Amino acid sequence: MEEKINKALKAALDTAPERKFTESVELAFTLRDVDLKVPTNRVQEEIRLPHGRGKEVKIAMFAAGDSASKAKKGDIHIIDPSTIEDLGGNKKTAKSLANKYDYFLSEVPHMGLVGRFLGVVLGPRGKMPRPVPPTVDPSAIAAGLKNTVVVRSRDKMTFHVAIGTVKQSEDQLMENVMTVYNRVTSKLERGIGNIRSLYIKTSMGPSVAVEVIN
């Protein structure tokens, strides 16, 4: 499979038209013979890419006091916990916040409040905040997240994940894509036997199929 994936990656990069922005490179899976109505069959994985995501990753944290000071040193945007209820009361603002950041962190005492007022917006996007205990430096958590992607099938047979950008080298992208492919197939009962199709594409480029023989 590695050779087939590499061939498709080359083709996707070669056929991608030039853009004025940096395109992501995406891997799309379509499953078969998997009952995704059963939550335990769904794919839900956090995967650290060996060569990172190839772009800036934005992280915000619901924090105050010392935790907020530590977070700022790690280039984490601070959201004042006293604004959580107001944010939740304005759906447009809440959605804008959810779309602006890739990941959220929160001091433990604010987790319940975030869930109550922002869970309806953050939850479906897979962006509920990760709790940060008082003894843990949020910068350390953020450093790991900056190289991490989340693969979520939910109840959909087709799902995709960004594995880097066109600015990264082909070798880097190849290592990233194989890391994701191997993790996803390892979670499927029949491995590649549960994959109907596999595609690689850039954000705006054509999809290139990876030959999948079952």
Q: What is the pLDDT of residues 193-206, one digit of tens each?
A: 999 999 999 998 99
The residue range of the domain holding 69 is 59-145
Residue 18, pLDDT score:
83
Same domain, 72 and 107: yes
CB 127 within 8 A of CB 83: no
Q: What is the per-residue DSSP string for 94-157?
A: HHHHHHH-SEEEEEGGGHHHHHHHHHHHHGGGT-PPEEE-TTS-HHHHHHHHTTEEEEE-TT-S
Which of 93, 128, 145 is the C-terminal boundary of a domain? 145
Q: Do 42 and 71 share a domain, yes or no?
A: no
**Domain containing residue 205: CATH number:** 3.30.190.20
Q: By C-alpha distance, which of 122, 87, 85 is closest to 102?
A: 122
Nearest CA among 150, 159, 173 for reference residue 46: 150
Decide: helix, strand or coil at residue 9.
Answer: helix
pLDDT tens by residue, 104-151: 999 999 999 999 999 999 999 889 999 999 999 999 999 889 999 999
pLDDT of residue 126: 87
**What is the number of structural domains in the chain?**
2
Residues 134 and 101 in one domain: yes
Instruction: Give the domain-ending residue among 145, 160, 189.
Output: 145
Tell me whether strands 130-132 and 103-107 are parallel, antiparallel or unpaired: parallel
Give the residue ranges of the chain where pLDDT is below 70.
Answer: 214
Co-location of 136 and 64 in the same domain: yes
Q: What is the CATH number of the domain that holds 93?
A: 3.40.50.790
